[in-house]
Structure 1
Amino acid sequence: MLRYAKSADLPALADIAAQAMLNDELFVYLCPYRHEHHADFRAAFLRRLKMRLHTPDCVMIVAVEPECSGDEETEHVRGNKLTISGLERTLLSIENHYYNLVSPDRSIDNKRLERYNQLVETGFDFEGISELWFLSTVAVDPVHQRRGLGRLLVQWGLDRAREEQTPVGLEASLQGISLYEKMGFRTVATVEVVPGLTVPAMLWEPERPADGDAQS
């Protein structure tokens, strides 16, 4: 089932994000010391999750698998029973919110991060769209991947965006491009971070209602 994230979910969500993104090509480049300093790598996700949970224009949705115990139903949200997945959506003018550098992060290469931030700031304009829903993170526990949870979470966001007639933008990983294309996203810009690492910006736009629907 899907529900809004709670403060109590944040440690579990940070665990999932750190596991799901460990071999993501962008994090491999930006965080070359993520294995040696995995606690810092995880802590960076936790800081961003805390910030977004308490930001009015952010929405975090999680997918949880109920556990039946007698007549009671609880959620798997801790330890080995964890089956939670995270989605964040941010309504904002396009700008980079990748890392909060106030806290030290020994997993990251700051020169690489600075280069990436500069490239994204100048290269991703989403065709001049000033405001949209931005799909900032989709993270699924590796143990529970390939079960449709990522699609389920993204679809929740697209359904809300369709109701508001608002576009959705994202930065895609190589692993996610195929899913996003199947769900109607198209590439509108690309940034070559270094040779061999290209990050695409993708955009989804809701269908315009027919004239009759608009008048009803």
Structure 2
Amino acid sequence: MAPSPPPSLGRLRFASPADITRIGIVSFYGFLHSSVFGWERPYHAEFPKDAVLSYCHVFSSFIKSHEHIVLVATDKFDPNEGETTKAIIPANDACPEPKPEDEVVVGVACWKLSPESERKGSFQNDNAPYPKLPENRKRDMHEEHCDALEECCQAAEKRYFQGPAYTLEMVVVHPAYQKRGHGRRLVQWGMDLATKDKVGVGVIAAGKGKSLYGSLGFEKLGDLPFEGLGLSVMQYRANPLRLHLWLFTGFVLLILLASVFGLVCSQPMMKYRLFRTCSFYRMS
């Protein structure tokens, strides 16, 4: 059986190869002040281009992968976006500065499908040639730190994420465009997809991310043993009872609104049908 249609993208879209350079910039600025960024990239101030290039390589691989879904959020370009951070990325001729009215990528998320998912390869958006990226010299990185953290995260996922689950590999929003709902939409779409597919959602969370995930219904399962990084394993599973209560509450509110405007009282047959519908829902 073919999988059900995915959730509506709304203001989001799937990333294309043409977005890769901009995604590198957004990731650099967005992750700059996170504890993990400083742990993995202690030399980023000396080699900022290497840090940006590293994210370009990572997301290029994600976009090509049939097991991953890369979503982007866009917004009108703010010419003063660089003022939100002290970091300076040297000018790059491959990525000219957009015009103020241009729509640009301001947030990105990468979701990994479960091994048994029937949706693999359904979300590729290869409508542009991939940029020719220079070799990643990784001079900004502390490779031993990166390897240790990767090993720890993989062990945590294996321990905590039991059963089919989609994992949120990364989500980041440029500081100049935060508090506009971009991050929440990027996370919510993947949660809605997982709910449709009846699988859980897992994430290794740090810093501000924990508050966002908690507000969306994620539960903390445990902490990672990395002092100072504040990493936690969090998981979301849709609660059918919670969904039913939400639907029923919405339905009751519609009835009350109809009553206020006199629609129910003036049409006895409609009131009878609504009563029958409520009775059926309650019994089911």
Shorter-chain TM-score range: 0.7 to 0.9
CA positional deviation for 1:196: 2.2
Mapped contact 1:126–1:201 kept (Cα < 8 A): no
CA positional deviation for 1:145: 0.4
Counterpart of 1:157 (choices 190, 210, 219) is 190
Corresponding residue for residue 79 of structure 1: 98
Asked if 1:203 is matched to 2:235, the reply is yes
Question: Which of structure 1's runs of 4+ aligned residues deviate more than 6 A?
Answer: none
- 1:5-154 pair list within 5 angstroms: 5-65=15-75, 79=98, 81=100, 82-92=104-114, 103-125=136-158, 127-154=160-187
CA positional deviation for 1:35: 1.1
Q: Which structure features the higher share of strand residues?
A: 1
Q: TM-score, normalised by structure 2?
A: 0.63
CA positional deviation for 1:103: 4.3
Q: Could you say which structure has the larger radius of gyration?
A: 2
Mapped contact 1:40–1:107 kept (Cα < 8 A): yes
Mapped contact 2:74–2:106 kept (Cα < 8 A): yes
Amino acid at match of 2:178: Q
CA positional deviation for 1:192: 2.0
CA positional deviation for 1:43: 1.0
> In the aligned structure 2, how far is the partner of 1:138 from the partner of 1:114?
20
Mapped contact 1:91–1:131 kept (Cα < 8 A): no
Mapped contact 2:73–2:186 kept (Cα < 8 A): yes
Corresponding residue for residue 72 of structure 1: none
Mapped contact 1:124–1:189 kept (Cα < 8 A): no
Amino acid at match of 1:84: V
Corresponding residue for residue 182 of structure 1: 215
Per-residue deviation, residues 113-155 of structure 1 (Å, max 9, x unmatched): 2222232233333535154111111111111001111111111
> In the aligned structure 1, how far is the partner of 2:72 from the partner of 2:136?
26
Per-residue deviation, residues 57-116 of structure 1 (Å, max 9, x unmatched): 21111122379xxxxxxxxx96364353111101146xxxxxxxx943011111212222
Q: TM-score, normalised by structure 1?
A: 0.81
Uncovered stretches (5+) of structure 2, i.e. residues with no partner: 1-10, 78-95, 116-134, 245-279
Mapped contact 1:41–1:105 kept (Cα < 8 A): yes
Please state whether the residue corresponding to 2:179 is helix, strand or coil: coil
> In the aligned structure 2, how far is the partner of 1:24 from the partner of 1:33?
14
Tell me how large the CA RMSD over aligned residues is: 2.5
Mapped contact 1:84–1:141 kept (Cα < 8 A): yes
